[in-house]
């Protein structure tokens, strides 16, 4: 048998990993899909013989939507349980809280969420897209397809929307030659958009560009519709609505609006068809799969690839193997991804148009985009 690293929860026939997401609290809404996907991937890996001949065992912890709890549980998984890798976190805040623990204890975190970038830790593999991979192509697309010149930016008030908007504004003003006619942030969880909607009416932007998260999203779209703003009159592009959110919002309220993601459940390729089928088999016919869910699914597979390449579970070795830039997944539901030496994935950006049934029709797919967490000219 290949060498096992000392001090890790690895036996001759098992290896233990951690899953750390919010099962309770406000973030459980978003994080449920991610942990389901991770469990699916691990189950599939186990069924195909495991990693280095070992079956993967899972220890699950609840981050409870509380950042310090993420730090506490990370430490527990790494120090007490000595897990070989952790799949987890969703919000940037929870990642930031856990990060020092991973660095201190030299753990390995697979983080699935699209996020603001500006970070690159040795101990984290980012399986979601960083800001430039999500934003730029989407803006280019509306500028070109819809002839958009004026943009109204609206988001929830925290770091990811603000950073994303900052990049968007730079791109709109410096690259597209357009104009930002309004920029607005609402407190997290807010459900009243009446005044903002009035402001938007007054400014008559070509595009509403939105990064409203969580429960606010539902209020936002329902109230837009109730104010008579629909896709027939208004172009709207959002970076924060996936199939998960649509479940709450209701497809009828989103019909004709666009999201920019790297993955949509409706994507028609054999990888995805198989993935969707397996996911529904495991988690029920009603379940939906959003962008982050898919990115979370990639985590265990990327880890498997790196471990097998390194021939050991040792974190340093696995990280080193990951940093060589040649780990790729041809079986990724989103199509094809490759791990960049900067710990992020090469991926494509896609624009989906929402339909009444809650699925999106992919209307644009970009080329494979190189991840660039510290983009020049956008800071």
Partner 1 sequence: MGGYSYDELGAIFAMQGFAGISLFSVLLLMALGLAIIFGQMGVINMAHGEFMAAGAYTTYLISTLTETYIPAFMPYYFVFSIAAAFLVAGTLGYLAEFILIRHLYKRPLDTLLATWGLSLIMQQSYRSIFGAREVSPTLPEWLMGAYPATDMIDIPINGMFVLGLTIFTTLAVFYLMFKSSWGLRVRATTQNRVMAGAVGINTKKVDRYTFALGCGIAGMAGAAFTTIASTGPTTGTLYIVDTFMVVVFGGAASLFGTIASAFSIAQAQSILEFFISGSMAKVFTLLTLVIILMFKPEGLFASKVRR
Partner 2 sequence: MSFVYEKLFGDKKGLIGFCILAALILVVFPVMLDSFRLNLVGKYLTYAFAAVSLVLLWGYGGTLSLGQGIFFGIGGYAMAMFLKLEASSPENTAIQSTPGIPDFMDWNQITELPLFWMPFHSFSFTLFAVLVVPTIFAYIIGAAMFKRRVGGVYFAIITQVVSVILTVLIVGQQGLTGGINGITDLRTLNGWDITSDSAKTLFYFINCFLLLAVIIASRFILTSKFGRILLAMRDKEDRVRFSGYDVANFKIFIFCFAAMISAIGGAMFTLQVGFMSPSFVGIVPSIEMVIFAAIGGRMSLIGAVYGTLLINFGKTAFSESFPELWLFLMGGLFIAVVMFFPNGLAGLWEDYGHHLTKRLDFIKNLFSKSKSAADAIELKGSKS
Q: List residues binding ligand NC(N)=O (CB under 6 A).
A: 91-92, 113, 115, 160
Print burial letters for 148-187: b (CB count within 10 Å at least 16), e (below 16): beebbbbbbebebbbbbbbbbbbbbeeebebebbbbbbbe
Rounded least distance, CB 379 to partner 2, Å = 6
H or E stretch including 77? none
Main-chain dihedrals φ then ψ at residue 193, nearest 5 degrees: -115, 10
Residue 99 interacts with partner 2 (CB under 8 A): yes or no: yes
Span interacting with partner 2, options 97-105, 325-333, 348-356, 359-367, rule CB under 8 A: 97-105
Specify whether the CB–CB gap between 111 and 89 falls below 8 A.
yes
Task: Tell me if residue 115 falls in helix, strand or coil.
Answer: strand
Q: How far apart are CA 148 and CA 1, in angstroms?
A: 60
309: partner contacted, choices partner 1, partner 2, ligand NC(N)=O, none (Cβ within 5-8 A by kind): none
Binding mask 184-223 for partner 2 (x = CB under 8 A): -x-xx-----------------------------------
Which of 93/317 has CB closer to partner 2?
Answer: 93
CA distances from residue 16 to 41, 101, 174, 295 in whole angstroms, order as listed? 14, 18, 48, 21
Residue ranges with strand state E in the chain: 14-21, 55-62, 86-88, 109-111, 124-126, 150-156, 179-186, 207-211, 235-238, 258-261, 328-329, 337-339, 345-354, 360-369
Contacts of 38 (CB under 8 A, 6+ apart): 19, 87, 296, 297, 299, 300
Secondary structure letter of residue 122 according to DSSP: T
Which of 96/280 has CB closer to partner 2?
Answer: 96
Span interacting with partner 2, options 37-45, 157-165, 173-181, 365-373, rule CB under 8 A: 157-165
Q: How far apart are CA 70 and CA 67, in angstroms?
A: 5
Binding mask 6-25 for partner 2 (x = CB under 8 A): -----------------xx-
Which of 95/222 has CB closer to partner 2?
Answer: 95
Contact positions with partner 1 (CB under 8 A) in 206-245? 215, 217-219, 222-223, 225-228, 244-245
Rounded least distance, CB 255 to partner 1, Å = 11
Among 62, 206, 245, 334, binds partner 2 (CB under 8 A): 62
Q: How far apart are CA 197 and CA 152, in angstroms?
A: 11
Rounded least distance, CB 323 to partner 1, Å = 35
Contact positions with partner 1 (CB under 8 A) in 67-126? none
Which of 288/345 has CB closer to partner 1?
Answer: 288
Residue 116 interacts with partner 2 (CB under 8 A): yes or no: yes
Helix 291-310 to helix 315-322 angle (10° resolution) is: 110
Q: How far apart are CA 110 and CA 303, in angstroms?
A: 8
368: partner contacted, choices partner 2, ligand NC(N)=O, partner 1, none (Cβ within 5-8 A by kind): none
Structure-block tokens of residue 203: 């400014």
Residue 28 interacts with partner 1 (CB under 8 A): yes or no: yes
Residues of this chain that bind partner 1 (CB under 8 A): 23-26, 28-29, 31-33, 157, 184-187, 189-192, 194-199, 201-202, 215, 217-219, 222-223, 225-228, 244-245, 247-250, 252-253
Q: Name the residues that contact partner 2, by CB under 8 A.
A: 23-24, 60-62, 64, 66-68, 71-72, 75-76, 79-80, 91-93, 96-97, 99-100, 104, 116, 118, 157-159, 162-163, 166, 185, 187-188, 374, 379
């Amino acid at each position: 048998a290949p060498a096992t690293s000392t001090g890790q929860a690895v036996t001759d026939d098992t290896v233990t990993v951690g899953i750390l997401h919010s099962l309770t609290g406000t973030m459980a809404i978003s994080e449920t899909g991610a942990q389901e996907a991770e469990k699916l991937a691990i189950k599939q890996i186990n069924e195909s013989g495991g990693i280095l001949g070992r079956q993967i065992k899972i220890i699950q912890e609840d981050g409870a939507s509380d950042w310090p709890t993420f730090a506490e549980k990370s430490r527990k998984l790494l120090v007490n349980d000595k897990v070989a890798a952790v799949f987890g976190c969703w919000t940037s805040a929870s990642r930031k809280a856990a990060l020092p623990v991973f660095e201190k204890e030299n753990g390995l975190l697979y983080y699935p969420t699209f996020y603001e970038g500006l970070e690159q830790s040795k101990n984290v593999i980012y399986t979601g897209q960083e800001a430039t991979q999500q934003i730029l192509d989407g803006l280019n697309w509306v500028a070109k397809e819809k002839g958009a010149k004026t943009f109204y930016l609206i988001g929830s008030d925290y770091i990811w929307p603000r950073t994303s908007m900052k990049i968007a504004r730079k791109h709109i003003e410096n690259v597209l030659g357009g104009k930002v006619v309004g920029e607005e942030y609402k407190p997290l969880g807010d459900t009243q958009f009446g005044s903002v909607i009035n402001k938007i009416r007054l400014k008559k932007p070509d595009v509403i560009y939105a990064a409203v998260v969580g429960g606010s999203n539902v209020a936002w779209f329902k109230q837009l519709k109730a104010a008579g703003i629909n896709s027939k009159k208004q172009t709207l592009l959002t970076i924060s609505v996936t199939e998960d959110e649509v479940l709450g919002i209701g497809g009828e309220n989103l019909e004709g609006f666009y999201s920019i993601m790297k993955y949509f459940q409706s994507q028609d390729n054999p990888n995805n068809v198989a993935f969707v089928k397996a996911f529904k088999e495991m988690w029920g016919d009603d379940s939906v799969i959003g962008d982050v869910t898919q990115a979370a699914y990639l985590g265990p597979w990327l880890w498997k690839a790196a471990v097998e390449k390194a021939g050991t579970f040792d974190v340093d070795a696995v990280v080193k193997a990951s940093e060589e830039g040649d780990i790729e997944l041809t079986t990724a539901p989103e199509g094809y991804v490759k791990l960049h030496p900067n710990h992020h994935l090469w991926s494509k950006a896609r624009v989906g148009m929402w339909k009444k049934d809650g699925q999106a029709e992919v209307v644009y797919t970009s080329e494979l985009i190189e991840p660039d967490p510290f983009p020049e000219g956008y800071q």
